[in-house]
Amino acid sequence: MLTSLPTPGFSFEIVATLGHARAGILHTPHGDIPTPVFMPVGTAGTVKAMTPDELRAPPLDARIILGNTYHLYLRPGLEVIEAAGGLHGFAAWDRAILTDSGGYQVFSLAAINQIDDDGVTFRSHIDGSEHRLTPEVSMQIQRVLGSDIAMCFDECPPGDADAQVHERALARTTAWAKRCRIAPRAPGQALFGIVQGGIDTARRLRHMAEILPLDFDGHALGGLAVGENLADTYRILDEVAHLLPAERPRYLMGVGTPADLERGILAGIDMFDCVMPTRNARNGYLFTSGERVNIPNAANRLDMGPVDPTCPCATCKTHSRAYLRHLYMAKEILYSRLATLHNLTFYARHVARLRERIVAEGTRA
């Protein structure tokens, strides 16, 4: 079943379903994206330690990466991105890009000076300079970045915020979504709406009823894995994800572990992003089909086997745990590259395996 999305050039095809889980293909002007998909995070216009060729090469074969509006706006700045003709050209990435709105980073990284119903005034975490982000400014930045998928500017309260804070954030997020929806966009740029509401199911559903009529190309669940209990994250996923419109892509923002991805997929989520595989790689943690490997561990000192014998990545086919441990201990640059390639390949294969299961055991759409 193929459905055209509101933005020309985008369509979403459901190939098979298994319970709430779906295997699909998101068609974009920068290529087809089999879903469920994990999107590597390219915070500052680079997936740290990876070249575009490495990201594109099978078995990793990344079809979409994420760029961060907040970081790219502060550095290198819009003038530079605009001179390059957008982020695709600047980063030499010819496949799809999703940009966040900058909201999450403003609320988590910057020194907030003022939040009001119009937007947020903050100081840069880099040089302390003062800036103001509003729905219109966020959309203007994303327009210059020229991402394939832009995200609505939203307010994401901490997981332990009280009800009053959540209610105010919800009202703002809805008002800001309406302003983002009518703001100018780059040609062929889709826009996703974000459902907030913390871990209160009724509040989530109420907010969903406000966001869905705005006719976005896809829908995201925001404000999960922001400090709440994992049981609450999973409960909200189970109770809410499958109620988002079935014919449009569903995106769980900023989550998570391989187990979280599996739970999300079973709950009906199609898209994920998280810094975990790339950041953990650089910090010495490698995901495998067995136990997670802590590479500096002394047990790896004389281990001439690969990180994961079942992994087809170039790191595992070429190098031993002992060599990776040596590179890590010696703080060699190559360590981060080899480790990142492995962890991203693990995530891509983890999601692809779940997709194959949905196709093999599920109902053809």
**Any contact of residue 311 with Zn ion (CB under 5 A)?**
yes
- Residue 23 bridge partners (DSSP): 16
Closest separation in Å from C-beta 175 to Zn ion: 46
Per-residue binding string, Zn ion, 232-271, x by CB under 5 A, is: ----------------------------------------
215 is catalytic: no
Q: Select 261 or 311, whichever has its Cβ closest to Zn ion.
A: 311
- State in angstroms the smallest separation of the CB of 205 from Zn ion: 41
ω before 40 within 30° of 0 (cis)?
no
Q: How far is the CB of 346 from Zn ion (least distance, A)?
A: 7
Does 118 qualify as catalytic in the annotation? Answer: no
Task: Out of 14, 81, 190, 313, point to the residue binding Zn ion (CB under 5 A).
Answer: 313
Work out whether 342 is an interface residue with Zn ion (CB under 5 A): yes
Q: Which is nearer to Zn ion, 293 or 316 (CB)?
A: 316
Which is closer to Zn ion, CB of 90 or CB of 347? 347
Q: Which of 154, 217, 270, 273 is catalytic?
A: 273
The pair phi, psi for residue 225, each rounded to 5°, is: 60, 40
Q: Which is nearer to Zn ion, 114 or 297 (CB)?
A: 297
Q: Smallest gap, in angstroms, from Cβ of residue 261 to Zn ion?
A: 18
Residue 316 touches Zn ion, criterion: CB under 5 A: yes
Does 324 contact Zn ion by CB under 5 A?
no
Choose the stretch contacting Zn ion; rule: CB under 5 A; options: 94-102, 184-192, 312-320, 347-355: 312-320
Contact 138, 101 (CB under 8 A): yes
339 binds Zn ion (CB under 5 A): no
CB of 314 to Zn ion, least distance (A): 8
Site size with Zn ion, rule: CB under 5 A = 5
Catalytic residue among 100, 154, 270, 308: 100
Question: In this complex, which beta carbon is closest to Zn ion, that of residue 137 or of residue 313?
Answer: 313
User: What is the nearest approach in angstroms of Zn ion to the Cβ of residue 308?
Assistant: 5
Q: How many residues does the chain have?
A: 365
Residues at the site binding Zn ion, with contacts judged by CB under 5 A: 311, 313, 315-316, 342
Residues identified as active-site: 100, 273
